[in-house]
Amino acid sequence: MVKVHNFSKLPSFKADNNSTQIKTSQTLQGLDSNSNLLMKYLENSAFSNQVSVGPTQPQKVQDTNTSVQTNYKNNLKSMINNNESVILAIIPRTFNAKDANGNEKIDTAQGEQNSTFLSCIDRLDEVKQNGFNTLHILPIHQPGDENAMGTAGSVYAPKEIVGKDGKIAIDPDLIDKNDPRTPQEQFKAFIDACHARDIKVMIDLPSCASCDLYDNEPELMAKTRFGLEKTPQGWADIRMFQPWEDESKRTLNPKLLEMHKQFVDNCIELGIDGIRADVARAKPTEFWSVLIPYSHQKDKEFAWLGETYTYECASPQVNMPYDRPKDSLKAGFDSYYGQYHIFHEWKNANEFNDYIKENLAMSNENGLAGKSLIGSFSTHDDVSPMVHGGADYCNMTTVIQATIPMCNPYFVDGYQSGDYYKYDYANKSYDKNSGEEISQQKDENGKNNVMTVHPYKLDIFNLSRKPGGDQPEIGQFAEKAFEMRNNYKDIITKGSYIELEKKQDKNDQVIAYARHLNGKTLLVVANKDVNSPSSAIISIPTLKATQQLNNLVPNYGEKSELQVADGELRVELGKARAMVFEIDTPNIEQNSQGHVFKQQLK
């Protein structure tokens, strides 16, 4: 619930599901958790695609979607450069898994099914309805067996990246064995189904090899000065590639480069729109400055997202070079991860604002125009955002990444309904045939029985349930936030960022900024504190006391109050509350000298 007052007259009212308006006598209700939104959500999420597979005569998937784009053309690079992608990260083998007995793991010996490329098609209409226009597909290679983590192996420990045929080596678990098409054809069917809905496809390129690949192709692999394999700290199942033929001469390893070129070739052949490079710093910028232009010779719109951070953190460090995002961007990457994954660790609004300004300043350096970040508030390497403050925290960070500059919003599957990624089977041993819990950590073939899981993180090690929680209102809120973003697309993707001054914010927890373009202004206010209300007086140059405030995203959470006066807004925000308003301040930039920051666009 939100109360908004004119500061001189203080007329009060409450906010309905979609608005916050200054009215003297109208009473409205806040977002009702007991409404029928859940039923509508489930009805609207009905799938229009069905996998048609006969028991004796396999048939191809019949994609019944009628909005097929017959002249599809990749423009993902431009979308990312223009801050227009809204990205959902998925693991194909769990994306639409069928956990019939509800024990959260997929017991294939008991007839349960992990998802395949073809069964993944069934969820694409849901993805589109949720407001996502880009899928980040986590690695699709078969994991290695040696030192494997989990019973299926980490998706980032590929047994093989490119096969002997020069094509991407696809995990057999992702292939529908009842369908006559080849693995490449089935993957292509999924990509085409995405494109039919104008959903872009970005595939993950692992940074390291499995122990199996290390043994099988030693010419690709790095060693320490003592002749030992290079192992990133904390990851016993992977080994580092050797990017150099002669590091002293800065000449690249031709075999490793050729393997990556084959990967790129097959991506473009399949119609994939871009690559997310895992731990980009694991290879030198010289490597990327060859591979990325190579891709653009074949597809000028082929996009590149680098997993690189502003500071050294959140990735293996021993045997890994330091992060260098500017160099990576100059080598050709279009976007990078940045530091939003530690938003919950930032102590106050000032740290948040400083980071925004730091990136905007970087965009104005030579060679960095049009570069962007993803809204990496939560990735598969991070714990569920639910851990940091539940649904309110999810909603608050959705508003922020939907409205900050230089950002392509990014989410992990399961976020839409509040998945904590808490698995009952975590770190227990199970018999692969019976599905029963056992004490033996290895089977008779030496394969792992332990279902390794990192607490509160999306399971990348096992065949697990389809991601999802029990709070679909989070996804409903995100849909409305994305609609708002589309309605104000130019302001959000091209407009200036105006840091608003505050006072009487004791703990500096109120985030307040404006986005402005061509005389139009969006005002964003949020309480970073997930435990307590926060109040402040926000200075908003040229704001009038008669300004009506219409919240452009649904209201949620605890009661908040706003008081409008000439040149300022007094706020008392419930914990983790965030709101967006359009305000009539055409001259706010001229009156905010020293507080206006702009991204350099291409």
Name the band, by pLDDT with cuts 50, 70 and 90, for residue 230.
Answer: very high
What is the residue-averaged pLDDT of the chain?
89
Q: Please name the helix (run of DSSP H) or strand (run of DSSP E) that holds residue 114, with its range, or none.
A: none
Q: Which fold has domain 2-30+491-597?
A: Immunoglobulin-like (2.60.40)
pLDDT at 321 over 70: no
Asked whether the beta carbons of 527 and 395 are under 8 A apart, the reply is no
Cβ burial of 559 (10 Å; 0-12, 13-18, 19+) is middle
Name the band, by pLDDT with cuts 50, 70 and 90, for residue 33.
Answer: very low
Asked whether the beta carbons of 239 and 229 are under 8 A apart, the reply is yes
Q: Which of 591, 539, 584, 586 is nearest to 565 (CA)?
A: 539
Please report, for the chain, the start and end positions of each structural domain, with discontinuous segments joined by +: 2-30+491-597, 83-338+376-487
- d(CA 600, CA 369) in angstroms, rounded, equals 5
Give the range among 22-36, 159-173, 479-493 with minimum mean pLDDT. 22-36
Interval 352-409: pLDDT, tens = 999 999 999 999 999 999 999 999 999 999 999 999 999 999 999 999 999 999 999 9
- d(CA 486, CA 132) in angstroms, rounded, equals 12
pLDDT at 19 over 90: no
Mean pLDDT of 481-499: 98
Handedness of CA 142, 146, 150, 156 (dihedral sign): negative
pLDDT at 329 over 50: yes
CA distances, 452 to each of 146, 206, 338 (Å): 15, 20, 28
pLDDT of residue 29: 30
pLDDT at 434 over 50: yes
Asked whether the beta carbons of 571 and 510 are under 8 A apart, the reply is yes
The encoded tokens of residue 392 equal: 């309110």
Higher pLDDT, 59 or 342: 342
Could you give the percent of the chain with pLDDT greater than 90?
A: 83
- d(CA 136, CA 444) in angstroms, rounded, equals 36
Q: Which of 388, 470, 456 is nearest to 420 (CA)?
A: 456
Handedness of CA 37, 550, 562, 415 (dihedral sign): positive
- CATH 3.20.20.80 fits domain 83-338+376-487: yes
How many C-beta atoms surround the C-beta of residue 29 within 10 A?
12
User: What's CA 431's distance to the chain center, in Å?
Assistant: 34
pLDDT of residue 70: 58
Cβ burial of 340 (10 Å; 0-12, 13-18, 19+) is buried
The encoded tokens of residue 93 equal: 């083998």
Q: Which of 180, 181, 182, 152 is nearest to 170 (CA)?
A: 182
Q: Please name the helix (run of DSSP H) or strand (run of DSSP E) that holds residue 193, with its range, or none.
A: helix 183-196
Number of H-type helices and E-type strands within the chain: 14, 24
The count of residues in the chain is 602
Asked whether the beta carbons of 333 and 305 are under 8 A apart, the reply is yes
The strands making up 2-6's β-sheet, listed across from edge to edge, are 2-6, 560-565, 568-573, 534-539, 502-503
Interval 210-220: pLDDT, tens = 999 999 999 99
User: What's CA 456's distance to the chain center, in Å?
Assistant: 16
pLDDT at 177 over 60: yes
pLDDT at 564 over 50: yes
Interval 440-450: pLDDT, tens = 999 988 899 99
pLDDT at 187 over 70: yes
In 3-state terms, what secondary structure has residue 337?
coil
Name the band, by pLDDT with cuts 50, 70 and 90, for residue 234.
Answer: confident
pLDDT at 7 over 80: no
Interval 102-159: pLDDT, tens = 999 999 999 999 999 999 999 999 999 999 999 999 999 999 999 999 999 999 999 9
Work out the angle at residue 118's Cα, subtended by the Cα atoms of residues 116 and 120, and round it to the nearest 5 degrees.
70
